Amino acid sequence: MPSNHKIQRYVAPVEETPVAAVDAVKFDGKASSVWGDAWKDMRSRWLTWACLALIALIAVVALFPQLFTSQLPTGAACDIANFRQAPGNGHVLGTDAQGCDVYSRLIYGTRASVTVGLVATILATLVGCVIGAIAGFYGGWLDAVVSRLGDIFFAIPTVLGAIVVMQVMPWERNALTLAIVLAVFGWPQIARIMRGAVLSAKNADYVTASIALGVSRAKILVKHVVPNSLAPVIVIATVSLGVFIVSEASLSFLGLGLPLSTASWGADISAGRATLRTDPALIFWPSLALALTVLAFMTLGDIVRDALDPKARARR
């Protein structure tokens, strides 16, 4: 290139290149979060509100059944003289073979099924989160022992294991004991999900920074790793609630769940199967209530899962 050749450079005027405006950071905007984005996605779907409305109705019925019926489902309220009466005469859905009001048993059965499912879900989630978080974060021989123990319980079907325990257990059968038995066989799945989430979260940059600042490992686990690993656990816990409700109904259907003195959808379904052809309403109403309840919780779990997954949101 000749030495006398001049290189010309063209620079746009400053007023035509508003770099400051493009690169400006807005400090007055609200910070985005995973849960905030998930809720924004969920509330834009009508199915979310339908599930929440149904779950809210189920919760009100379970907590305050006396608001929906003035009759008791068992005991003196049952009169054998009212053997399988048709709807009417103060019985909205008729009576069963024991002379009990079908509608009142349907209402009070909500409390039994939802209580067992909710308590079992809480216990299984707490145990699974603690065991899975410790195993995934500390690793080593502790992780190996917990993983093998979880595999043993995971290989036993929940209902099958509960059948065996409920048959041989010496204590009284009630909602709490049934929930504990279901939680004993239900925690491994939640522990496995929690362990995988902790394994991914413990290698994040904020964990490395906390270690460099001298924060103890236990504090890092509780304050940083666990809160950032709860998203998949909440999804599986929502679905597990429906599974535990079905498990309670299955055990009560087999006569191994709640005692006969407690109104239960599973027990009513079992009692109504003998009259399936002659009086199908006795099995239809508790089956419908069970199906709608389980469908509401499982559908909500699927919605939460899709809302927490950015790829699933992008596909819609």
Lowest-confidence segment of 163-167, 169-173, 194-198 by average pLDDT: 169-173
Q: Are 254 and 270 in contact (CB under 8 A)?
A: yes
Q: What is the pLDDT of residue 57?
A: 93
- Give residue 281's pLDDT band: very low, low, confident or very high (50, 70, 90): confident
pLDDT at 50: 93
pLDDT value, residue 201: 86
pLDDT at 22 over 60: no
Residues 6+ apart with CB under 8 A from 32: none
Is residue 313 very low, low, confident or very high in pLDDT (cuts 50, 70, 90)? low
Is a pLDDT exceeding 80 seen at residue 117? yes
Query: 35-39, 123-127, 199-203, 250-254: which has the minimum mean pLDDT?
Result: 35-39
User: Over 80: is that where the pLDDT of 6 sits?
Assistant: no
Q: Is pLDDT larger for residue 1 or for residue 231?
A: 231
Supply the pLDDT for residue 26.
Answer: 57
Residue 296 pLDDT = 92
User: Which of 200 and 99 is assigned the larger pLDDT?
Assistant: 200
**pLDDT mean over 147-169:** 86
Per-residue pLDDT tens for 79-108?
777 777 777 777 778 777 777 888 888 888
**For range 293-303, the mean pLDDT:** 90
pLDDT of amino acid 20: 54
Q: Which pLDDT belongs to residue 122?
A: 94
Average pLDDT, the chain: 82
Examine the pLDDT at 17 and tell me if it is beyond 60.
no
Spatial contact of 83 and 95, defined as CB atoms under 8 Å apart? yes
**The pLDDT of residue 167 is above 90:** no
Domains of the chain: 53-71+91-314 (1.10.3720.10)
Q: For residue 150, is pLDDT > 90?
A: no
Task: Give the residue-averaged pLDDT of 277-288.
Answer: 84
Residue indicated by tokens 């009630």: 174
**Is 88 in a helix, a strand, or coil?**
strand
pLDDT value, residue 53: 94
Span 120-149, pLDDT tens digits: 999 999 999 999 999 888 888 888 888 888
Question: What span, in angstroms and rounded, lies between the C-alpha atoms of 101 and 266?
Answer: 16
Q: Rounded to whole angstroms, what are the CA distances from 142 to 35, 128, 149?
A: 32, 15, 11
Least confident span in 8-22, 29-43, 219-233: 8-22
Return the percentage of the chain with pLDDT > 70, whole number: 85
Rg of the chain over all Cα atoms, to the nearest angstrom = 28
3-state helix, strand, coil in the chain (%, to 5): 70, 0, 30
pLDDT of residue 7: 60
* Pick from 15-24, 215-224, 242-251: least confident: 15-24
Whether 312 has a pLDDT exceeding 70, the answer reads no
Tokens describing residue 257: 């769940």
